[in-house]
A and B are shown apart, each in its own frame.
Chain A
Amino acid sequence: MFRRILKSVREFKLPTYLTFICMVFEAGIECVIPFITAELINKIRSGAVLGDVIVTGLILAGMAMVSLLCGWLGGICCAKASSGFSRNLRSDLFSKIQNFSFESVDKFSSASLVTRLTTDIQNVGMAYMMVIRTAIRSPLMFVFAIIMAYTMGGALSMTFVVVIPVLIFGLLIIARFAMPAFHRVFRKYDKLNESIEENVRGMRVVKGFSREEYEKRKFEKASEDIRKDFVKAEKIVAMNNPLMQICMNFNMVFVLLVGSKMIIGSGAADLDVGHMSSMLTYGVQILMSLIMLSMIYVMLTISMESFRRIDEVLREEPILVNPENPVFEVADGSVDFDGVSFKYFSEAKKAALDGIDIHIPSGATVGILGGTGSSKSTLVQLIPRLYDVTEGSVRVGGRDVREYDLDTLRSSVSMVLQKNMLFSGTIAENLRWGNPDATDEEIEQACELAQASEFVHSFPQGYDTYIEQGGTNVSGGQKQRLCIARALLKRPKVLILDDSTSAVDTRTDALIREGFKKFIPETTKIIIAQRVASVQDADIIIVMDGGRIAAVGTHEELLEKSDIYREVFEQQVSGKEDR
């Protein structure tokens, strides 16, 4: 898992290694400084000449400067390495998602993909920064300090044999208890925030039912519940403090007692006062580096979840892949379904589509009708190979869709999705998604055909009108027509409209269909609709029910033989008898 994620470091390996080097120097110097300081103190104590003292002082100052430089450089390199790593990882993840099939997008859901690309990457970046800075530095400090303590203190360093295991053991135990406690708290905390958000969003409902007091009580309970858990968790962590103090103080007492015996008992031969002071400093350093390590451990475990979630995306195998020798040419717009059945998940009990056989000649207009959940959308999504069939085959232009190059296929099969959207940018920019090289005339033509040109011209800035994120500044009907124009610009061989004119009034809807007939007669048009009026003049009408084809035929034929069709027709037409 880590290896896969760390692949994204790439060109930032150098700053990463530089950070390591800087940290090695910084840690080394930091360990030597107390040693030399001890020398300095001894020199002063023994009344050395002024010059000598100043020379040692200068050496020390120089070392502090080098250490400063290393720390500074290390900080910069580390910032570069971690920011760069985050950038690469974000870019890799984004590219990976771009190559996802619809199935994978369904599996992850767009909201969770957003979290993975933002919060999770931020967490991983932070963890990386911490690890390259501290995870090298702290163990190094630890080792350096132990070596120095041993060389200076000799037998005195035996204190660490006792203190270190105690500290490690204690820290581990605390971490072991604290971590699940915090996990629980954070999960509850998320839930609490969710419920606040629900209230903020649904305030009309709360007030509409006069549920203010009820919500207050509910919140009070939840909030109190969290408080209890939080206090419990924090109290566990608060135990770090006495543990640390006990270890440090034990170290101090031991060094002072045994040290003084050694000094006095040997006439300062085995140990001198300066060295004993340094021993105390090293003791602090050793214990501090252990505490840092335990913090890293905790942080890493917290960010582990983010690592895992990113890895899940990176690991996702592309389900739809180009064939080995892809076909780059779609002959015509004929579409055939041969014994197609389809399941969204292989373990799904019920097939979304079952036993579908349809043969659509190139240039035909096909209407598809059916209630919610009758798998109309699923059916047409197989044509541009947004999903692969489970059984049978789908052919476009006489060839199985799995033989085509994906881009070729999707450029020839243009689809206006039910849940459509425009992107922030001008209208022209949005339309050019269909064809980046489209001329202004072509755009105008497409809009004409989609009945969009009139309202676009009514905007003061025409095609340069800026569409807000989510397309909130155009009406639903306008948005749908722009999406149709965008799809038309692809000059597709097959055009699929998945309930794409639901917000367009019936007259305009009819005009759009007329235009299709007149101007793009050779394009196969497949139209999913709720209104019978939208499909009744199609060459073939397919009535779907529960993932199967209930009936196929023309309007007149279906009125006769399909109960469902007749029912829908009568219901919709009877409502408008005055027409």
Chain B
Amino acid sequence: MAEEKKNTLNEASVAGAAPSEPQRRGKPRMDFKVLGRVFKMLVGFYPKLVPITAFCIIFSSVCAVMPAVFQQKTIAKISDVLKEEVAASVGLEPDAEAEAQAKGEEFISQKLDLENYWEEEKHDIINLVAVLIAFYVLSILSSTLYRLLIAEITQGFLCKTRQHMFDKMQNLPVKFFDTKKHGDIMSVYTNDIDTLRELVSQAFPQMLTSGIIVIGVFAVMLWYSVWLALVVILGVMAMMLVSKKLGGGSAKYFTRQQKAVGKTEGFIQEMMNGQRVIKVFTHEKKCIDDFNEINNALFEDSYKAHAYANTLGPVIMNIGNLLYVIIATVGGALLLAKVPNPSVQNLVNGLGLGVLTIDIVVPFLNMTKQFTGNVNQLAQQVNIIAMASAGAKRVFELMDAEPEVDDGYVTLVNAEIDGNGNITESEKRTGRWAWKHPHKEDGTVTYTELRGDVRMTNVDFSYVEDKPVLHDISVYAEPGQKVAFVGATGAGKTTITNLINRYYDIADGKIRYDGINVNKIKKSDLRRSLGIVLQDTNLFTGTVMENIRYGRLDATDEDCMQAAELAGAADFISRLPDGYNTELSNNGANLSQGQRQLIAIARCAVADPPVMILDEATSSIDTRTEAIVQRGMDKLMEGRTTFVIAHRLSTVRNSDVIMVLDHRHIIERGSHEKLIAERGTYYRLYTGAFELE
């Protein structure tokens, strides 16, 4: 049942990421190139442990087969002794067993010295059993060892793969995250990694074990009897046929079920979020009716998917039973009819064809069980491997995604600047920065003081080709100036800030930072020099203090508290249950949006960056609180170049320059007073005759 649950999960990930291909096929296909890479990675991580484990697996599967042989030998021995007994007691030829068996009653009455036989044969039997025990011990030891090793290897492999993926992911450009659904990325870390776990911990060892057993047992079967081996092969083929048929059906309906699940979850999500509206409008009844409809559709698909999946097991198992019976019957019939029995054994020993004997039929029955069982195991692994190869493909896709290119060589350093304007690099934090600009041609290094002069000239940009978002934008921000962007949603305000810190690269034009082309500045240093507060506040799991410290990792508690004070966040933080040590989780779900923004502002304040970008940083703070925050913000912005995007025009009023963006262009620019005097779009916006957003 656990298998089935996993199946649905896997199907989900298969269906989710690449909907067209697997749905038509019903089942994901194996991709040996991808599997090869997985294997190579595995061996790469554990060059010694993998072969050792493989050896243990092989050894233990051989050990697992051997006991059956000795068990059979013991039983054969007992039969032999029995025959002797019978022969001795009645004085008949040993092979006329039937009659002897019929007279079984008699030899007890005759009270032959049966105990003697036991005493005589005890030795042989105990010897056989001792060998058996030895194999058992070996088998237990080796299989336990390999299981422990597999646990080690699997988790180590997953851990390293996960780390590898995460490392690569950190270096991906923002564009990747903007264009991919977050759920899809997450699914790689959860569902797809899970398929790899099954591959390494289950499919690989099982394939090895079952493969060896299948080959071994089949060889032994041919050794004994070709005819019976053929019957077994036919049976196995029937099994494969059925499992393909039923498995295909179940895969088909599982994909459909997954779709229905998606639909139901979407509906549930919407309705749970809108629960209050539903109640206010007394819409409960209608809502339940709608839900039942979707729920019924889900039931139909899930029922069919499980019906197929549930029947597969018993059907396969009973075909196995049938095969067992058929072998017994056919074997018995061949035996009694004394049909010639071609076998490898006879061929090797040059005995001609020979006939089937009971000593062949009985072990053959057990071998049949073992054979079908392991073929079945192999078939199941095929499914897992197919799933895993689809999962691994997505894992590799994430790993192979084009990382952010960074050709920048200009770095940001702490600087000491003397009276003459000479700049020297400093180890300590001096509160002043400089751009360190190495010149390749002559090997010299020049330092430029960071002043916060940002100029964009004739910038063009588009997220998708042929759909320009910005056209011919020129913005000059002199050191310490406050530049505001105003415009409707989609006018491209946020895009401009995306370009300054190079989340995206411009298509045409130039952006210069203190006279240096931003493309030459190392991205991490460029971004370090720019503080950013975004509209959608993202906080991390951890305490309030840790979240503020995110801005500057070496900040002391006092620094953080000061920053919070500056941002106007100190007041509410002190009222939290544990103050600065309050644990935040789930993006600060226990805080209001306004409070989250205050923390984000504090986080930016502690970083103390020379240039700041505030993208709707105070949109969710009520006007009274904003007045308080504003004071802090004003202090924060003092002497820094600041780019502000705000919905509330009261926030942008005191900017040095206000840019009004409309349809990719800057349509108005100037100070508040100038724009009001012009009576243009800004004027209309400001007087409320125009709607923002």
Which of B75, B108, B534 contacts A267 (CB under 8 A)?
B108
Decide if B464 is an interface residue (CB 8 Å cutoff).
Answer: no
Decide if B624 is an interface residue (CB 8 Å cutoff).
Answer: yes
Decide if B610 is an interface residue (CB 8 Å cutoff).
Answer: no
Are A114 and B269 within 8 A (Cβ)? yes
Are A257 and B126 within 8 A (Cβ)? yes
Decide if B270 is an interface residue (CB 8 Å cutoff).
Answer: yes
Given known contacts A75-B310, A199-B169, A230-B155, is B163 in contact with A41 (CB within 8 Å)? no
Given known contacts A75-B313, A198-B587, A419-B276, is B322 in contact with A568 (CB within 8 Å)? no
A230 CA to B82 CA in the complex, in Å? 54
A53 CA to B330 CA in the complex, in Å? 9
A235 CA to B488 CA in the complex, in Å? 59
A153-161, A208-216, A548-556: which one contacts chain B? A208-216
Are B186 and A37 within 8 A (Cβ)? no
Name B284's closest neighbour in chain A (CB-CB): A98
Given known contacts A118-B265, A256-B71, A421-B273, is B170 in contact with A206 (CB within 8 Å)? yes
A126-134, A168-176, A351-359, A456-464: which one contacts chain B? A126-134
Q: Which residues of A contact B273 (CB under 8 A)?
A: 110, 421, 470
Range of interface residues on chain A?
A: 35 or more
A5-21 residues with Cβ-Cβ distance < 8 A to B are none
Decide if B430 is an interface residue (CB 8 Å cutoff).
Answer: no
Q: Which residues of A contact B266 (CB under 8 A)?
A: 469
Which of B288, B296, B305, B686 contacts A94 (CB under 8 A)?
B288
Which of B269, B333, B692 contacts A50 (CB under 8 A)?
B333
Q: Which residues of A contact B261 (CB under 8 A)?
A: 118
A253 CA to B150 CA in the complex, in Å? 29
Decide if A273 is an interface residue (CB 8 Å cutoff).
Answer: yes
Given known contacts A84-B303, A202-B540, is B318 in contact with A71 (CB within 8 Å)? yes
Tell me, rounded to whole Å, the shortest Cβ–Cβ distance linking A269 to chain B.
Answer: 5
Decide if A197 is an interface residue (CB 8 Å cutoff).
Answer: yes
A572 CA to B623 CA in the complex, in Å? 8
Are A80 and B303 within 8 A (Cβ)? yes
Are B623 and A530 within 8 A (Cβ)? yes
Q: Which residues of B contact A470 (CB under 8 A)?
A: 270, 273
Are A57 and B688 within 8 A (Cβ)? no
Q: Which residues of B contact A216 (CB under 8 A)?
A: 163, 166-167, 170
Are A200 and B177 within 8 A (Cβ)? yes
Contact with B along A246-262 (1 / 0, CB 8 A): 10010011001101110
Tell me, rounded to whole Å, the shortest Cβ–Cβ distance linking A389 to chain B.
Answer: 17
A263 CA to B133 CA in the complex, in Å? 21
Are A578 and B676 within 8 A (Cβ)? yes
Q: Which residues of B contact A219 (CB under 8 A)?
A: 163, 166
Task: Tell me which of B163, B296, B298, B332 has the highest count of chain A C-beta atoms within 10 A of its own C-beta.
Answer: B332
Are B532 and A204 within 8 A (Cβ)? yes
Q: Which residues of B contact A48 (CB under 8 A)?
A: 98, 336
Are A41 and B167 within 8 A (Cβ)? no
B650-689 residues with Cβ-Cβ distance < 8 A to A are 650, 653, 676, 686-689
Are A214 and B541 within 8 A (Cβ)? no
Q: Which residues of A contact B624 (CB under 8 A)?
A: 371-372, 567-568, 571
Q: Which residues of A contact B539 (CB under 8 A)?
A: 202
Are A372 and B622 within 8 A (Cβ)? yes
Are A44 and B331 within 8 A (Cβ)? yes
Are A114 and B322 within 8 A (Cβ)? no
Q: Which residues of B contact A37 (CB under 8 A)?
A: 324-325, 328, 365
Are B171 and A61 within 8 A (Cβ)? no
B148-170 residues with Cβ-Cβ distance < 8 A to A are 148, 150-152, 154-156, 158-159, 162-163, 166-167, 169-170
Decide if A3 is an interface residue (CB 8 Å cutoff).
Answer: no
Q: B interface, by DSSP: helix, strand, loop or mixed?
A: helix
Name B281's closest neighbour in chain A (CB-CB): A433
Are B151 and A235 within 8 A (Cβ)? yes
Given known contacts A76-B310, A212-B524, is B275 in contact with A204 (CB within 8 Å)? no
Decide if A439 is an interface residue (CB 8 Å cutoff).
Answer: no
Are B1 and A133 within 8 A (Cβ)? yes
Tell me, rounded to whole Å, the shortest Cβ–Cβ distance linking B207 to chain A.
Answer: 18
Name A108's closest neighbour in chain B (CB-CB): B272
Name B265's closest neighbour in chain A (CB-CB): A118
Number of A-B contacts (CB under 8 A): 461
Are A50 and B156 within 8 A (Cβ)? no
Are B650 and A411 within 8 A (Cβ)? no
Decide if A90 is an interface residue (CB 8 Å cutoff).
Answer: yes
B111-119, B341-349, B440-448: which one contacts chain A? B111-119
Are A207 and B75 within 8 A (Cβ)? no
Name B319's closest neighbour in chain A (CB-CB): A68
Given known contacts A61-B326, A257-B125, is B623 in contact with A571 (CB within 8 Å)? yes
Given known contacts A44-B358, A105-B276, is B139 in contact with A245 (CB within 8 Å)? yes
Q: Which residues of A contact B540 (CB under 8 A)?
A: 195, 198, 202
Decide if B481 is an interface residue (CB 8 Å cutoff).
Answer: no
Are A260 and B74 within 8 A (Cβ)? yes
A87 CA to B121 CA in the complex, in Å? 65
A249-291 residues with Cβ-Cβ distance < 8 A to B are 249, 252-253, 256-257, 259-261, 263-269, 273, 276-277, 280
Name B181's closest neighbour in chain A (CB-CB): A200
Are B282 and A406 within 8 A (Cβ)? yes
Decide if B147 is an interface residue (CB 8 Å cutoff).
Answer: yes
Tell me, rounded to whole Å, the shortest Cβ–Cβ distance linking B410 to chain A.
Answer: 15
Name B651's closest neighbour in chain A (CB-CB): A575
A48 CA to B332 CA in the complex, in Å? 9
A292 CA to B306 CA in the complex, in Å? 20
Decide if B311 is an interface residue (CB 8 Å cutoff).
Answer: yes
Are B2 and A299 within 8 A (Cβ)? yes
Decide if B190 is an interface residue (CB 8 Å cutoff).
Answer: yes
Are A209 and B528 within 8 A (Cβ)? yes
Are A87 and B166 within 8 A (Cβ)? no
Decide if B594 is an interface residue (CB 8 Å cutoff).
Answer: yes
Decide if B465 is an interface residue (CB 8 Å cutoff).
Answer: no
Are A371 and B538 within 8 A (Cβ)? no
Are A47 and B97 within 8 A (Cβ)? yes
Are A264 and B158 within 8 A (Cβ)? no
Decide if B527 is an interface residue (CB 8 Å cutoff).
Answer: yes
Name B649's closest neighbour in chain A (CB-CB): A575
Given known contacts A208-B527, A277-B362, A575-B650, is B97 in contact with A45 (CB within 8 Å)? yes
Are B303 and A506 within 8 A (Cβ)? no
- Besides A110-B272, A242-B143, 17 more A-B contacts (Cβ < 8 Å) are A45-B358, A47-B336, A50-B336, A64-B322, A67-B318, A72-B315, A79-B303, A79-B307, A83-B303, A101-B279, A118-B268, A199-B166, A208-B501, A227-B159, A269-B107, A421-B273, A434-B281
Can you list 21 A-B contacts with CB-CB less than 8 angstroms, sorted by A residue number? A41-B328, A56-B329, A64-B321, A65-B322, A71-B318, A76-B311, A79-B310, A83-B302, A87-B296, A98-B287, A199-B170, A201-B182, A260-B74, A264-B118, A266-B108, A268-B82, A372-B624, A386-B280, A420-B277, A505-B689, A505-B690
